[in-house]
């Protein structure tokens, strides 16, 4: 594998991977890492569309924080990382569709 052109980017990818794995343990039982996202299907919403709704919520939060609203729980950076994770999860679910 060639040397990284952007070590900071690579470090962020590793951070995202660790965070996702850690949070996934809190939300999903063993066996299906997408279990919590598939819950949308119980309400007639395809899982990938359920993730789009979550992304919409994150985007609203990001917009508020970028306008100077003080975060009570999650920083702008944290929200952006979550948005990246949800985007990747949405791709995984779309890829399952074939």
Q: What residue spans define the domains of the chain?
A: 7-97
- pLDDT value of position 94: 96
For 86, counting Cβ atoms within 10 Å of its Cβ (0-12 exposed, 13-18 middle, 19+ buried), the class is: buried
Show pLDDT as tens, one digit a residue, over the chain (98 residues): 677 789 999 999 999 999 998 888 887 777 788 999 999 999 999 999 999 999 999 999 999 999 999 999 999 999 999 999 999 999 999 999 87
Residue with tokens 């594998």: 1
């Amino acid at each position: 594998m060639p040397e990284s052109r952007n070590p900071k980017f690579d470090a962020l990818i590793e951070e995202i991977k660790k965070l996702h794995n850690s949070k996934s343990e809190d939300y999903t039982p063993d066996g299906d890492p997408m279990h919590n996202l598939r819950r949308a299907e119980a309400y007639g919403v395809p899982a990938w569309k359920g993730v789009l709704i979550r992304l919409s919520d994150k985007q609203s939060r990001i917009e508020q924080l970028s306008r100077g609203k003080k975060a009570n729980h999650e920083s702008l950076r944290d929200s952006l990382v979550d948005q990246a994770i949800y985007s990747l999860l949405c791709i995984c679910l779309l890829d399952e569709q074939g």
